[in-house]
Amino acid sequence: MYKRRRTGSLLILLPGILLTIIFVIYPVIRTAILSFESWNGVANAPKHFVGISNYISVFTSPKFWLGMRNSLFFIIGGFVILMPASFLMALLVTSKVKGSGFFRTTFLIPVMLGTTAVGLMWTFMLNPQFGMVGKLAEIFRSETVPNILATPVQNTWAVVLVNEWMYAGYNMLIFAAGLVAIPEDIHDACRIDGCTGIKKLFYVTIPLCKNMFMVFSVTCITGCLKVFDIVWAMTRGGPMDSSTTPAILLYTEGFQFKLMGRSSAIAMILLILGLVISVVLNSTIFKPDENL
């Protein structure tokens, strides 16, 4: 009887186990192997073992470091702009202000639109011929209309800002959950002690939302390392790789230049970097609070 029940349980788990092994575990192992090989991506073409030369060519290519720098721009933008903005938005939608429910609903719309659609929409807005940039240039009496998406550095920041426009509402929800979880007693105590405004924000509210800041940090950093869709929709990583990211390189090296080995090496570097960062963040800097 026990045995039969156990087999029954295993059978129920089986489809999930198979899917995970076939599409997640096996591909990761296979990518690790491919990262030491040279292969052009054609099904029956030969693969050669090339040792660590894929890794060497990744680490010595300026493109890779450009991509890492751009990822860093995404992370900086995330902490300097997105984090304060979405925290303030969370304060707004959890306050008793009229229409806070409506605000919460509209702030979340961009996430629902799909990354590609958002990217294209902003590409139109930034188009030098007919976009809003022309209007702005007129206002500032500028002679030439800048082509932001074709100018290095500017284009990356433009994509960073669009990405933040899209995800501000989503991150707002994370912070809002933290704010709502603060017990009413604490608000009362603050009022009695005369702790209000900015002082309350920095000494009471923010420390109590520590866990939410941790969730934000981990998702922001790991998300920024693998950003692909929005960059692809807006610039394809160009011109001349100026707005590339590691994930864009992973795609272009593998599927446009047919360097599957090098692409796999970038994949492994991203995987390991992401794992190390989230383990380090989780275990050292942000010790999760037991009582929250």
Partner 1 sequence: MRYSSKKRAQGVILLLIGILLTVMFLFPLFITFLSSLKSNSDILLGMLELPKQWMFSNYPEAVKTANALNTILHSLIIAISTLVLTIAVGFPAAYILARKSYKFIKPVYILFMAGVMVPVHCTLTSVSEMASTLGLKNSYIFLVLLYVAFNLSQAIFLFTSYIRGLDKGLDEAAKIDGCSEMRLIWTIIFPLCKPIVATEAILVFIFGYSELIFSLILLTDQRKYTVSRAMLNFTSNYTTSYGPQFAFVIMSMIPMLVIYIVLHKQIQEGMLSGAIKG
Binder of partner 1 out of 54, 58, 107, 237 (CB under 8 A): 107
275 touches partner 1 (CB under 8 A) = yes
Residue 91 CA to residue 176 CA, distance in Å, equals 7
Please state the closest distance from residue 163 (CB atom) to partner 1, in A: 14
Please state the closest distance from residue 272 (CB atom) to partner 1, in A: 10
For partner 1, the binding residues in 231-270 under the rule CB under 8 A are 232-233, 247, 250-251, 254-255, 260, 263-264, 267-268, 270
288 touches partner 1 (CB under 8 A) = no
- For residue 119, which amino acid is it? G
For partner 1, the binding residues in 135-164 under the rule CB under 8 A are 135
Helix axes 210-225 and 260-280, enclosed angle (nearest 10): 170
Please state the closest distance from residue 174 (CB atom) to partner 1, in A: 5
User: Closest CB to partner 1 among 154 and 258?
Assistant: 258
Please state the closest distance from residue 183 (CB atom) to partner 1, in A: 18
User: Closest CB to partner 1 among 68 and 218?
Assistant: 218
Residue 4 CA to residue 257 CA, distance in Å, equals 53
Count of alpha carbons within 13 angstroms of residue 211, beta-carbon side? 13
For partner 1, the binding residues in 201-220 under the rule CB under 8 A are 215, 218-219
Give the tokens for residue 133. Answer: 């940039």
- The count of chain residues that interact with partner 1, using the rule CB under 8 A, is 95
Binder of partner 1 out of 52, 56, 72, 113 (CB under 8 A): 113
31 touches partner 1 (CB under 8 A) = yes
Binder of partner 1 out of 38, 63, 81, 103 (CB under 8 A): 103
Binder of partner 1 out of 73, 79, 157, 170 (CB under 8 A): 170
DSSP annotation of 286 reads: S
Do 224 and 247 contact (CB within 8 A), yes or no?
Answer: no
Long-range pairs of 58-65 with CB within 8 A, sequence gap ≥ 24: 58/262, 58/265, 58/266, 58/269, 63/241, 63/244, 63/249, 64/246, 64/249, 64/266
Contacts of 258 (CB under 8 A, 6+ apart): 40, 41, 42
